[in-house]
Amino acid sequence: MVKPFTLWTSRCFRLIGSIAVLTLLIVSCTPSTLTTRNLGMVIPTLRSSTDSATAQSVVLAFLDAWKSEDYDTMYSLITSVSRDAISRDDFEGKYRHVAQNLGLDSLEGSVLSVMPGDQTTQVNTRIIYKTSVFGDINREILMNVTREESNWLVQWDDGLVLPELHGGNQLYSEYAGSGRGDIYDRNGATIAAQIDAMAIGVKPAELVKSQEGNLLVALSKLTGRPGDSILRQINENRDADYVPISEVTAQAAQQMSDDLNLLNGLVMTPFKGRFYFDEGVAPQTLGYLLKISPEQLDAYRRKGYSGEERVGVSGLEAWAEPQLAGVRGGSVYVLDPNGNILTRLASTDSKAPEYLHTTLDKDLQIQAQRAMEGFRGAIVVMERDTGRILAMVSSPAYDANLFESQNYNSGILLNSVLNDPENPLLNRVTQGSYPMGSVFKIVTMAAALESGYYRSNTTYDCGYRFTELPGVTLYDWTYTYGKSPSGKIDLIGGLVRSCNPYFWHIGLDMFQKGDANDIVTHAQGFGLGKKTGIKELEEVTGQVLNPNNEGDAVQLAIGQGSMLATPLQVAVMISSIGNGGYLYRPEIVSKFTSPDGAVLYSDTPEVMGRLPERPEIMDVIRKAMRWVVTNEHGTAFSALTGIQVPIYGKTGTASTAEIEPHSWFAGYTDAAKETKKSDITVVVLAENAGEGSMVAAPIFRRIIEIYYYGRPSRLLPWESSLYVRREATPTAAPTSQNSETPPATPVRQTATP
């Protein structure tokens, strides 16, 4: 009997013998040269053909993350040893430090070559640092990628940020400022500049009664403010230690120094900085400067700023920051760990700032601002045939000089501006949305004529009441003010009289005929419900929504309900009616020039669209708008009678949740041939001020007279003298024969018969 162990041993020896024979056969069949070469060598570990590609993909992922400044991803792609050597925050700080000192705009990275290895693969890369200050800086960086367990990771050190930083070196940059460009009006008058200035104020306790008259005359001459206004300000603050009055140029103060030095209680404190003339010409449009905030520091450092500068944060100052600030020159150096300069990495010369020329007319702007004092609201004056803006008023205004920290008056008044509940920083021209009221009837009239249901001679009995909505009675403005109803009138007469029942009827009729959205479509064709396209200022879109029911349709037809528009949108719309149907992009910047006067950029009027209405329909609308002003039954006849310049316009009185409605007047002139002056469009909005014919229309007249005649022919109803208000509010003025107040909601509901 054979034992199991003996049997197993015998089988093992036979297997070993077979393997040996097979090995000899293989060796005997191999060429002798190969046999000799392989004798005594260790066979290398097999490596996947994708290893080098995987290492390269890690580098590419690292570069992609670097381009997008995704520091979390970058940090996750470095070895654990590298992560032990530098924290996540310090890792990001290294990259941001280089980005700021180089003025890094963007970065490009690519792989040049790959040297594969078992545990470490070398990937040679090209990095292009695209900087805003020094141009492109090119470097080749060798990246070692190491296998760590089953992953490939980057061996990181300072030299991977920039080769010159290897060994703990750092960058240091020095920049030379280039000043700031001035801002001018269309005629070359300076409206903002870097100059020496004076903060003007008085100490009431030190004033001498016998000098009061001389003080007011001197301050009025110096500041341009009415003496009555200055006296009122002083009297309202008699208990204060100091009453800030205004800011003026140091040159202006010096020219009057002989008179000013004789006045007790007058305080003049010098400062140097950004100065806005006349207490700010169109302050919401020009904007103001502030010191760079910590949140903005990284972005501005990358543009070549040191971080100590004051930069534009709103309006044209912000929009034109790159041009007004110029290009800072400077150098960036490599320092050793002890702070010694090793080399200058790059340098560049500074470029002078550019000067901005606006389309504004400074004198017209100032007088328009004064006309709106005491109201919340807006005025737009635009060249009808180009879109260039001559005046842009948002009221209340503010003194932009208060944002200059060196201005002594700033410490006293700035907080009152920032905390003012009437929000003077808001540009109501482009960012205020309002119901248009009866100005919108122009759109409804166009839609009615285009629909084919109405002609210019289609009549309607405009009585006191509108009862076509089941269970609802609406009342015309003639009922509200105890005037005779307009009676039977055609469509032109409906616009001239601003007959609410006629337009309520049109809105309801078109809705019931299945053309509910036609009015909205025409509104959009006039540029409403979308941005005007002004490039330099922030703007809102307004709102024109399709009516969901008969009530919505009725309200939309008279510019109430949910519809909203900005004064600038209305100006573009009104201009298009007068210029043949062209919707121009509003422009506020005329050109940029170099310090020596060379024109670097100039604007060209740009047409954004055309009105969809047929020319014959626009002729009817223009005729009606002309009669609003010239016909004795027109709602603007009383306010605008006697003006020799041909005016086409429309009043608007838009009901709101407040007691008083918004007051509108929008119109254009047609006098270029006779006057040799550009025709203009003027839009006036006074928030919660009352009737369009009583408030907005008189202000419109003031603007027209200043533009064409250089001075007003009459006081505004609420003025005691030019630009000095009486104590009574304008809404207390006598009611016009042709005023209008369309209700925003039904004023009475009745049971259905």
DSSP secondary structure string, 629-646?
HHSTTSTTHHHHTT--S-
R_g (Cα) of the chain, nearest Å: 38
- Residue 303 forms part of a structural domain: no
How far, in Å, CA of 387 to CA of 604, rounded?
A: 10
Transcribe 69-97 into DSSP letters: T-HHHHHHTB-HHHHHHS-HHHHHHHHHH
Domain end among 248, 272, 296: 272
Provide CB contacts within 8 A for 295, sequence distance 6+.
none
What is the DSSP code (8-state) at residue 294? T
Contact indicator for 391, 361 with CB cutoff of 8 Å? yes
* Pair of tokens at residue 23: 């090995």
Give how far Cα 113 sits from Cα of 57, 155, 511, 605, Å: 13, 17, 71, 53
Amino acid at 452: G
Residues 299, 300, 304, 308, CA torsion sign: negative
Domain assignment present for residue 498? The answer is yes
**What is the side-by-side order of every strand in the sheet holding 120-131?**
104-115, 120-131, 135-148, 151-154
Given this model, what pLDDT does residue 50 score? 55
Predicted pLDDT at 731: 41
Residues 160 and 204 in one domain: no
Measured in whole angstroms, the distance separating CA 357 from the mean position of its chain's CA atoms is 18
The answer to whether 127 touches 154, Cβ cutoff 8 Å, is no
pLDDT given for residue 23 in this prediction? 40
Contact 477, 504 (CB under 8 A): no
DSSP string of 428-476? HHHH--B--GGGGHHHHHHHHHHHSS--TT--EEE-SEE--STTEEEE-
Tell me, yes or no, whether 532 and 454 share the same domain.
Answer: yes
Q: Which pLDDT score is estimated for 738?
A: 55
As beta bridge partners, residue 395 has: 377
The whole-angstrom separation of Cα 145 and Cα 117 is 9
Q: What is the number of other CB atoms lying within 10 angstroms of the CB of residue 637?
A: 20
Outline where 136-210 has alpha helix (H). none
Residues 149 and 237 in one domain: no
Residue 487 sits in a domain of what CATH number? 3.40.710.10
CB 444 within 8 A of CB 507: yes
Quote the tokens at residue 180: 């700031």
Last residue of a domain, one of 217, 239, 272: 272
660 and 617 share a domain? yes
Tell whether 515 is covered by a domain. yes
Distances in whole angstroms, Cα of residue 748 to Cα of each of 245, 465, 476, 486, 743: 51, 10, 12, 21, 10
Q: Say if 96 falls within a structural domain.
A: yes
Say if 387 falls within a structural domain: no
Strand partners, 107: 129
Domain that residue 265 falls in: 196-272
Spatial distance between the Cα atoms of 166 and 168, rounded to a whole number of angstroms: 6
Q: Are residues 566 and 679 in the same domain?
A: yes
Is 370 domain-assigned?
Answer: no
- 220 contacts: CB under 8 Å, gap ≥ 6: 226, 227, 230
Q: Is residue 251 part of a domain?
A: yes
One domain, residues 120 and 242: no
Per-residue pLDDT, 319: 98
Burial 664-693 (b: 16+ CB within 10 A, else e): bbbbbbbbeeeeeebbbbbbbbbbbbbbbb
**Among residues 29, 28, 30, 47, which one has the least CA distance to residue 38?**
30
Q: Are residues 164 and 202 in the same domain?
A: no
Residue 215 placed within a domain? yes
Is the same domain home to 100 and 205? no
- For 120, phi then psi, to 5°, come to -135, 130
Structural domains of the chain, count: 3
Q: Alpha helix (H) ranges present in 31-136?
A: 32-38, 51-67, 71-76, 80-85, 88-102
Q: Residue 223: its pLDDT value, please?
A: 93
Return the C-alpha torsion angle 668, 669, 673, 675, nearest 10.
-130
Instruction: Say how far apart CA 107 and CA 279 lie, in whole Å.
Output: 44
Identify the bridge partners of residue 151 per DSSP, sorted by sequence position: 148
What single-letter amino acid sits at 127? I
| 396 upstream amide cis, omega within 30 of 0 | yes
| Dist. CA 46–CA 568, nearest whole Å | 74
Residue 104 has φ and ψ, to the nearest 5°, of -70, 120
CATH code of residue 264 = 3.90.1310.10
Average pLDDT by consecutive 10-residue portion of the chain (753 residues)?
A: 40 41 38 36 40 87 98 97 97 96 95 93 97 94 94 96 96 88 98 97 95 94 90 94 97 95 96 94 97 94 90 97 92 96 94 97 97 97 99 98 96 94 98 98 98 97 96 92 93 98 98 94 98 98 97 97 98 98 98 96 96 96 98 97 97 90 98 95 97 97 98 94 72 43 35 26
Segment (H or E) for 377: strand 377-383
H or E segment at 104?
strand 104-115
Q: Say whether both 564 and 480 belong to one domain.
A: yes
Instruction: Please indicate, yes or no, whether residues 99 and 236 belong to a single structural domain of this protein.
Output: no
Q: Which residue in 447, 429, 344 sits closest to 382, CA to CA?
A: 429
Q: Within this chain, do residues 628 and 501 fall inside the same structural domain, yes or no?
A: yes
- Among 126, 65, 133, residue whose Cα is nearest residue 99: 133
- The count of other CB atoms within 10 Å of the CB of residue 92 is 16
Q: Indicate the residue among 209, 238, 272 that finishes a domain.
A: 272
CB 682 within 8 A of CB 568: no
pLDDT at 467: 96
Looking at residue 106, which CATH number applies to its domain? 3.10.450.100
Dihedral, CA of residue 508, residue 510, residue 513 and residue 516, to nearest 10: -100
576 and 668 assigned to the same domain: yes
